Structure 1
């Protein structure tokens, strides 16, 4: 559904031969991954920054750099980096977090751009960017400017807290603690052209997603 006064779409979306490039924004554990799957359907592509970041953290060069800087106690029994341990190491240390982002973000950004170009070359669409800090990173990475439209996924804080506890094992208050370092949700919402409300009903979530796709199709015809 469109907000009452939608923001204009990003102006730097590049030439495409595929479907629209859609960027997802919203709070932590708001259901963006489910919306991404519904948007992409069977013929589209989801570029998930979390998945790409996990892949980057598993590369030997990144593992070596991190363990050289912070020690091998960040490794799990499988010899790979423990993401929970890594999160604890950097979250309350802005300097450490910036160092880690400087190490991993270029690789993630390159993989997103490569995936975008591949999807375009194959004529796939929609192409969905599921990037947690899509707006926060735009000044340095320009990913939001690659999107034809931004979609905000809204969800009640209590639902998001419960979802994060169930799916991620996060303690109470962790969602709010992490979001305190991000853009305020009202600002993200104001910058989106479409809003989807997720209150936990997958059928309703899919219905709203289809409505957005119908509106996008109508605006491009």
Structure 2
């Protein structure tokens, strides 16, 4: 398998498992704590932060962005070419959708059901941009400080915290276009209505500087 093939496979698998963790833990939390949204959010945030640490540690030798915004910024910084960028982003989106389908099936739900959870408003969109900016600061700040081995713990901790301190992540975490799209096909705790997704994705993309090359 080519280097790009291995990297794309890592991004596919990592994004798939990330979405499975987000959606699956949301379903489990709703079933275990049906009358306590605060406890559901706590359970969902812990599971998401923990799986991010594990996945980044496991896949970092190959590729462990799991996020098109991170990959786009890597392109802007000259860390990869256009072909690699497009290949990895495609793998992230396909992986995310696969993860959502598998999570639905694991819990006895239809493979794909459009979400009815509408999320909209300037406060939510601002929160999404801030959440994504913070994620990029954590990822690239930690990596550039010659502590790349700590990226997994920094990202996992940040995302778990972002569930709580940003408005856009109230009831789940986004800051990721591939994950956002994947969550449109699950009508569960972590879902987002398809009509709400474009504004969230635009807010996420605003966090990354344009490619001036």
Choose between structure 1 and 2: higher helix proportion.
2
Which protein has the larger Cα radius of gyration, Structure 1 or Structure 2? 1
* Greater RCO (CA < 8 Å, at least 6 residues apart): 1
Q: Normalised by the size of structure 1, how large is the TM-score? A: 0.31
Choose between structure 1 and 2: higher strand proportion.
1
